[in-house]
């Protein structure tokens, strides 16, 4: 169950979530560092893969238990207590200049800039027209007709 939570719906787990498991389950201490978690992940994964299977996960937990000096059963108890990845996000503070549209200035007070000036140009082909009927556009681009 813990493997499934940290594998995020995949049949395999990547190194980032393996390291996050160590942080979330409070496995890191003076005997086990984040670097040790990363080295353990790289030790148990296949050389040509970036993710580990469930069997490799169990093998990695065995390496972690040995590194911490505890039994596999004790580590399994600690890991089984973890609910899943603990995700912490930030929430922006209110900003009156962003939130209150009455305080907008310049072009944004009138709805913001437009990416299409329909009164002047309706398509890109008008910009790229270098024919004689295009008038002086060939002079603007530095080209001569014919």
HEC string of the chain?
A: CHHHHHHCCCCCEEHHHHHHHHHHCCCCCCCCCHHHHHHHHHHHCCCCCCEECHHHHHHHHHHHHHHHCCCHHHHHHHHHCCCCCCCCCCCCCCCHHHHCHHHCCHHHHHCCCCCCCCCCCCCHHHHHCCCHHHCCHHHHCCCCCC
What is the per-residue pLDDT for 102? 85
Question: What's the confidence (pLDDT) of residue 57?
Answer: 93
Q: What digits encode the pLDDT tens for the residues 108-135? A: 777 777 766 656 656 666 666 566 555 5
CB 22 within 8 A of CB 35: no
pLDDT tens digits in sequence order for the chain, 146 residues long: 788 888 888 999 999 999 999 999 999 999 999 999 999 999 999 999 999 999 999 999 999 999 999 999 999 999 998 887 877 788 888 888 888 888 888 877 777 777 666 566 566 666 665 665 555 544 555 555 55
């Amino acid at each position: 169950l813990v493997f499934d939570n940290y594998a995020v719906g995949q049949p395999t787990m990547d190194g980032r979530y393996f390291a996050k498991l160590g942080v979330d389950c409070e496995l890191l201490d003076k005997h086990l560092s984040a670097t040790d978690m990363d080295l353990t992940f790289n030790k148990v994964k296949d050389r040509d893969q970036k993710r580990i299977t469930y069997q490799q996960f169990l093998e990695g937990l065995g390496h972690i238990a040995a590194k911490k000096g505890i039994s596999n059963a004790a580590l399994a108890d600690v890991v089984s207590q973890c609910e899943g990845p603990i995700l912490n996000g930030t929430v922006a503070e209110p900003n009156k200049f962003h939130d209150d549209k009455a305080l907008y200035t310049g072009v944004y007070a009138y709805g913001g800039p437009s990416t299409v000036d329909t009164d002047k140009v309706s398509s890109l082909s008008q910009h790229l027209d270098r024919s004689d009927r295009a008038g002086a556009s060939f002079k603007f681009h530095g080209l001569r007709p014919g």
